[in-house]
Amino acid sequence: MSAAETKREALEARQTMRHSAAHVLAQAVRDFYPGTKLAIGPAIEEGFYYDLDIPVSIKPDDLGAIEERMRAIAAEALPLRREELSRQAALELFHELEEPFKVELLEDMEDETVSIYRHGDFADLCRGPHVEDTSRIGSFKLLSIAGAYWRGDEKRPMLQRIYGTSFATPQELQDFLTMREEAEKRDHRRLGKELDLFSFHEEAGAGVVFYHPRGAILRGIVEDFLKEEHRKRGYQMVITPHLFKGDLWNISGHLDYYVDNMYTLEKEGTQYVVKPMNCPGHMLIYKTKPRSYRDMPLKYFELGTVYRYERSGVLHGLLRMRGFTQDDAHIFCTDEQLEEQIIECLDFALYSLRAFGFEEFKLYLSTRPEGSVGSDAVWERSTQALADALQHYGMEYEVDPGEGVFYGPKIDVKLKDAIGRYWQGPTIQVDFNMPERFQITYAGADNRPHQPVMIHRVVLAGIERFLGVLIEHYGGALPVWLSPVQVMVIPVADRHLEYALGLKEQLEARGIRVEVDDDHQTVNLKIRNSQLQKVPFTLVAGDREVEGGTVSVRLRTGEDVRGVSLEEFEEGISKLVDSRSTGLEWR
């Protein structure tokens, strides 16, 4: 058995255990709260949940008692037995059990035969598989409670969702809980508020972000990096509208495959779509004049803001949004240039991630999904080009079957953060289909028309999502070159304010981002506030500093150096910025 197969088996075993734990959770809740109705209870990436219609509103303090009941059920080692029933027999069973959500699910099914699982007096509609008995649900912990609309529909009943997790051993569970605690400390939504970076406003609608001045500075730094690095690599920057006619999305195929995620409207009898993708706009720019093989590769880059409908239940701060900006590029090239261009995209992506302090990655080759467009030959050709580029690049990768996009296969890069979590990052997609749908060509060396290959790629991917990951990776303590405020100057008393303002002016002349805290508070409190704001350097100016023309340098980590000349400090911080260092070693 290969390592990949062994890993897949282990993941499937864990999912089975967690799915069984969800059934035990549902029974425990029903035991505590008679009249509880069962909705759904799947295993998920970090554990499991069950959506329940409970007669009372449960609170976090109730989870401990539910856990204890789960342990009692586990100790009984009740067998989980699979039964196959006709759909009609299952409908009669769940009508008798007064489980309306299960009845609705059955009414929507086309299967003539369905399966249920029983343990003790508990029965649930489920495909399975499950563990042998309830004692095998592992070391588990209930984590949180949330609201969830039935079937994700805001017009349907609101249910109570209980999240939990389960691991094979107590140590694995403890390791997970420790990491989860650390993740909560790093939550970008909390840090975004505390550091005054951004906010969300229900009255403006869910899934969109408002950048405050400091957040806009951070985003601007990231965007400036991207613009400069794209320029160096021969990309041409373009800008396309936010609103296109629906006809364009018929040509691209998005209306057939993506319509549920698109915002549409109609004016004067014409359908319009708020763009969920940038690629059709780049196609139109390509078609504005004849192209030659001498133009290839032609690289268009856009910081394109797109809008995609996501259900409210899956929105998550900057990490899952309805409106976001992509560092989107489309490369038009010849068949012969394809592998070289994919390798260049990988180089660019990993260089950029490393520049922001990420060093560990996982690569995936995502293959043809169901419901895709294009011939088998085109898909095989595209997939092989990506595989050849990965092999040439020399990095290990895994095949992710069926996870490509509807128009082509792709390489996905996942980046590992400081506490071991992997996040979706760059993606590189090969597309022979869209150039054909838009009928774009170039004149070859034989002076005949040829169809170019199109590469869709993002480097940091969604800017908002990347910022969320970046903030959590550093716990808000961003490297100096990324910090919206790099230096906070604190005058000890009002008589030192003029000197402090002079320091600010001199540092700003060197391109350093500086603020002066002239509030009427104690020096210690102002230093504390600067540290809480994660400002890398705090300069304290009092009588001694004014007389000597120096500064006292305090790092956000607590180290304190006195009697430093401003020239020495300028030199040190400039080196940190220019080198994009992730540390504070300025001397």
Q: Name the band, by pLDDT with cuts 50, 70 and 90, for residue 81.
A: very high
Catalytic site includes residue 456: yes
How many angstroms separate the CA atoms of 524 and 124, rounded? 61
Q: Name the band, by pLDDT with cuts 50, 70 and 90, for residue 378.
A: confident
With a pLDDT cut of 70, the percent of the chain lying above it is 99
- Residue where one domain finishes, among candidates 419, 442, 474: 474
* CA distances from residue 560 to 49, 336, 411, 527 in whole angstroms, order as listed: 48, 58, 47, 11
Does any domain span residue 201? no
pLDDT of residue 2: 64
How many angstroms separate the CA atoms of 417 and 472, rounded? 8
Beta strands of 200-346 (E only): which ranges? 210-211, 236-237, 243-245, 263-267, 270-274, 298-307, 323-333
pLDDT of residue 305: 96
- Identify the active-site residue in 37, 275, 456, 556: 456
Helices 63-75 and 3-32: angle between axes, nearest 10 degrees: 110
- Identify the active-site residue in 37, 254, 311, 410: 410
Same domain, 177 and 240: no
What's the whole-number average pLDDT of the chain?
A: 93
CB-side exposure of 297: number of CA atoms within 13 Å?
26
pLDDT of residue 289: 96
Same domain, 463 and 516: no
Same domain, 382 and 427: yes
Does any domain span residue 203? no
pLDDT in tens, 449-485: 999 999 999 999 999 999 999 999 999 999 999 999 9
How many angstroms separate the CA atoms of 157 and 155, rounded? 7
DSSP string, 479-497: -TTT-S--EEEEESSGGGH
Collect all residues with Cβ–Cβ distance below 8 Å to 460 and sequence separation of at least 6.
222, 226, 327, 352, 353, 356, 425, 426, 466
Same domain, 24 and 98: yes
DSSP β-bridge partners for residue 430: 455
pLDDT of residue 75: 96
DSSP β-bridge partners for residue 328: 302, 458
- Identify the active-site residue in 124, 327, 328, 412: 328
What are the tokens at 374? 């294009």
Same domain, 137 and 98: yes
Does any domain span residue 353? yes
pLDDT of residue 6: 74
CATH number for the domain that contains residue 38: 3.30.980.10
Q: Which residue has the tokens 């050849």?
A: 388
pLDDT in tens, 384-429: 989 999 988 888 899 888 888 888 899 999 999 999 999 999 999 9
Q: Name the band, by pLDDT with cuts 50, 70 and 90, for residue 314.
A: confident
How many angstroms separate the CA atoms of 308 and 467, rounded? 19
Same domain, 250 and 341: yes
What are the tokens at 345? 């995209």
- Tell me the chain's radius of gyration from C-alpha atoms: 28
Catalytic site includes residue 279: yes
Long-range Cβ contact pairs of 285-289 (< 8 A, separation 24 or more):
285/238, 285/240, 286/332, 286/440, 287/438, 287/440
How many angstroms separate the CA atoms of 187 and 177, rounded? 15
The model's pTM is 0.86
What are the tokens at 409? 């296969």
Q: What is the count of structural domains for the chain? A: 3
Residue 563: closest CA among 537, 544, 586: 544
pLDDT of residue 4: 61
Average pLDDT over residues 195-205: 95
Same domain, 244 and 274: yes
Same domain, 521 and 413: no
Q: Name the band, by pLDDT with cuts 50, 70 and 90, for residue 3.
A: low
Does any domain span residue 584? no
- Identify the active-site residue in 23, 186, 308, 311: 308
pLDDT in tens, 548-564: 999 999 999 999 999 99
CATH number for the domain that contains residue 550: 3.40.50.800
Catalytic site includes residue 451: no
CATH number for the domain that contains residue 240: 3.30.930.10
Does any domain span residue 192? no
Same domain, 433 and 389: yes
pLDDT in tens, 105-158: 999 998 899 999 999 999 999 998 999 999 999 999 999 999 988 988 888 999
Same domain, 163 and 280: no
Q: How far apart are the first and last CA of the chain?
A: 54
Catalytic site includes residue 326: yes
Does any domain span residue 170? yes
pLDDT of residue 113: 94
CB-side exposure of 265: number of CA atoms within 13 Å?
7
The residue segments making up the domain with residue 153 are 3-185
Q: Name the band, by pLDDT with cuts 50, 70 and 90, for residue 381.
A: confident
- Residue where one domain finishes, among candidates 428, 443, 474: 474
- Identify the active-site residue in 275, 311, 330, 554: 330
Same domain, 161 and 268: no
Does any domain span residue 22? yes
Beta strand pairing call for 37-38 and 47-53: antiparallel
Collect all residues with Cβ–Cβ distance below 8 Å to 327 and sequence separation of at least 6.
226, 230, 301, 303, 458, 459, 460, 461, 463
- Residue where one domain finishes, among candidates 447, 474, 501: 474
Catalytic site includes residue 330: yes
- Identify the active-site residue in 279, 333, 457, 496: 279
How many angstroms separate the CA atoms of 523 and 539, rounded? 11
Does any domain span residue 205? no
pLDDT in tens, 224-282: 999 999 999 999 999 999 999 999 999 988 888 788 899 999 999 999 999 999 999 99
- Identify the active-site residue in 160, 326, 341, 533: 326
Same domain, 536 and 463: no
